[in-house]
Amino acid sequence: MIGPVVLGQPAVSPVLLIGQAPGDKEGALGRPFAWTAGKTLFKWFARIGLDEATFRRTVYMAAVCRCFPGKHPKGGDRVPNPVEIQRCAPWLEREMELLRPRLLIPVGKLAIGRLLEVDKLIDVIGRQHRVDLAGRPVDVIPLPHPSGASPWHRVPPGVDLLAEALRLIESHPAWAELCTVETKPG
């Protein structure tokens, strides 16, 4: 994998977003979802109450892998292999243990697969799931990857399942808490 390590800014938050791995631009820009996929992702979150700056300030952003995995020989970014995923796993596990989030938002099939059994996105997107996190139940609302390379979130049934997932996130008490805190004066 290719450094540097890319991390979101620290935020004590009831919501933890889990990405897959940084793209080739994120290392130089020093933040996750800083390029094209991020523009799409933050448009989704703006629809449900948090603009990009507020999201970055109030939601903890982690990833399955913390460095760019490199380009795939046939185009696009290479998917991290199981060994790379295992090497990074202790970081994500420790973050979840320390933050004790009430809502996990995995973005993309690789991130979703770290929390849920997933064969097809249509089986998990648009639904709220519950997982056991160190003996504590935590809600999981997965999102598709906002990549421009994938049309999944722009065509049926993906477009409707994405809308339902965003509705579920917006109505979750942990998300509502973030939106309430951000609209209070002072």
Give the lowest-confidence range in 71-75, 136-140, 149-153, 167-171.
71-75
Q: What is the pTM of this model?
A: 0.92
Structural contact between residues 70 and 77, judged by C-beta atoms closer than 8 angstroms: yes
Question: Could you tell me if residue 114 is inside a domain?
Answer: yes
Task: Tell me if 131 is assigned to some domain.
Answer: yes
The number of distinct structural domains making up the chain is 1
How far apart, in whole angstroms, are the C-alpha atoms of residue 6 and residue 46?
23
Question: How many residues can be counted in the chain?
Answer: 186
Answer whether residue 185 shows pLDDT above 60.
no
Average pLDDT over residues 150-169: 95
pLDDT band at 182 (very low <50, low <70, confident <90, very high): low
Q: Is residue 97 a part of any domain in this protein?
A: yes
pLDDT of residue 132 exceeding 60, the answer is yes
Examine residue 3 and state whether it is found in any structural domain, yes or no: no
Structural domain boundaries, residue 152: 15-183
Least confident of 32-41, 70-79, 80-89, 152-161: 70-79
List, for residues 47-99, the tens digit of each pLDDT value. 999 999 999 999 999 999 887 777 888 877 888 999 999 999 999 999 999 99
Asked if residue 5 belongs to a domain, the reply is: no
- What pLDDT does residue 72 have? 83
**73: in domain:** yes
Q: What is the 3-state secondary structure (H, E, C) of the chain?
A: CECCCCCCCCCCCCEEEEECCCCCCHHHHCCCCCCHHHHHHHHHHHHCCCCHHHHHHHCEEEECCCCECCECCCCCECCCCHHHHHHHHHHHHHHHHHHCCCEEEEECHHHHHCCCCCCCHHHCCCCCEEEEECCEEEEECCECCCCCCCCHHHCCCHHHHHHHHHHHHHHCHHHHHHHHHHHCCC
In a domain, 7, yes or no: no
> Who's near 9: CB < 8 A, 6+ residues apart?
31, 56, 57, 61
- Report if residue 9 sits inside a domain: no
Q: What is the CATH number of the domain that holds 145?
A: 3.40.470.10
Q: How confident is the model at residue 186 (pLDDT cuts 50, 70, 90)?
A: very low
pLDDT in tens, 113-122: 999 999 999 9
Residue closest to 13 by CA, chosen among 177, 138, 164, 125: 177
Round the average pLDDT of the chain to a whole number and report it.
90
Q: How far apart are CA 136 and CA 134, in angstroms?
A: 6
* Tokens standing for residue 130: 């519950």
